[in-house]
Amino acid sequence: MPSSPASASSSCWCCGTSTSPPLLASAGVVGIIVGLAARDTLANFFGSLSLYLDGTYKVGDFVVLETGERGRVEDISVRSTVIRTRDDILVTVPNATLNSAAIVNESTPRRKRRIRVPVGVAYGTDIDHVQEILMDVAENEELVIERPKPRVRFREFGDSSLNFELLCWVSNPALTARATHKLNSEIYHRFQAEGIEIPFPQRDISVSMADVPGDLFERESTGMPTDGGHDEQ
């Protein structure tokens, strides 16, 4: 007996309702998987967008990361930023990480950078002569720029030394390490030539025999061999 139109439509409706929930569930699972897979990509994309709009850094800038790594920005892409360290190693950092981290850009607002050279001399040294030597060393170093002028500060009375600090500027952040090396070397040579002592921490320890309890340092005369422990033949 042929089925009526009403029964056919009812059958289709029933079939539709019976297959829709699995399809919807599968689509939901697929959507979650796609969302999880694209989460990092979207985070890096919006991170790069924020870095671009904020002008945090650009290619060629010298930056210092939260991890302490310092280097020059080589490339900025949608996903990551490539930094070349002083050891000539390329470090790729996701933009999402950079966007949420504290970054020091040593190239802004100006490329020149101040360096600090701590120096300690022995107590009793002529401090005016020390300052003259430090200023002369800085003014004769070709990597140190004239403006702003170098300066010397007497910082503190240390445990073993009088502590000074030489402050001067270089034209580029990449020159800080080289300039510090040359300044330290010249200061050492000048101090040696001028007879200025560079002290180092020392500790004097005194031991009193009266404070030692008991007879720790007394040797018993009985039962101790006198021939080095060898029996007489």
pLDDT digit string, tens, across residues 74-86: 988 877 889 998 8
155 inside domain:
yes
Domain boundary among 78, 109, 140: 109
Identify the domain containing residue 140 by its residue range: 113-194
Give residue 21's pLDDT: 64
Tell me whether the omega of the peptide bond preceding residue 148 falls within 30 degrees of 0, making it cis. Answer: yes
Average pLDDT, the chain: 77
Looking at the structure of the chain, the number of domains it has is: 2
212 inside domain:
no
Residues 190 and 146 reside in one and the same domain: yes
Give residue 106's pLDDT: 84
Kindly compute the dihedral angle of the four CA atoms of residues 206, 210, 213, 219, in this order, to the nearest 10 degrees. Answer: 100
The two tokens of residue 46 are: 């919006």
18 inside domain:
no
199 inside domain:
no
Cβ atoms 164, 126 nearer than 8 A: no
Q: What is the 3-state secondary structure (H, E, C) of 159-218?
A: CCCEEEEEEEEECCHHHHHHHHHHHHHHHHHHHHHHCCCCCCCCCCCCCCHHHCCCCCCC
What is d(CA 192, CA 107) in angstroms, rounded to the nearest whole number?
36
59 inside domain:
yes
Predicted confidence pLDDT, tens digits, the chain (233 residues)? 455 544 444 444 444 444 566 655 555 555 555 555 555 555 555 555 666 666 678 888 888 888 888 899 998 887 788 999 888 899 988 877 777 778 888 887 778 889 999 999 999 999 999 999 999 999 999 999 999 999 999 999 998 899 999 999 999 888 999 999 999 999 999 999 999 999 987 777 777 666 655 555 555 545 555 555 555 44
CATH number at residue 64: 2.30.30.60
Domain boundary among 84, 109, 134: 109
204 inside domain:
no
208 inside domain:
no
Residues 163 and 127 reside in one and the same domain: yes
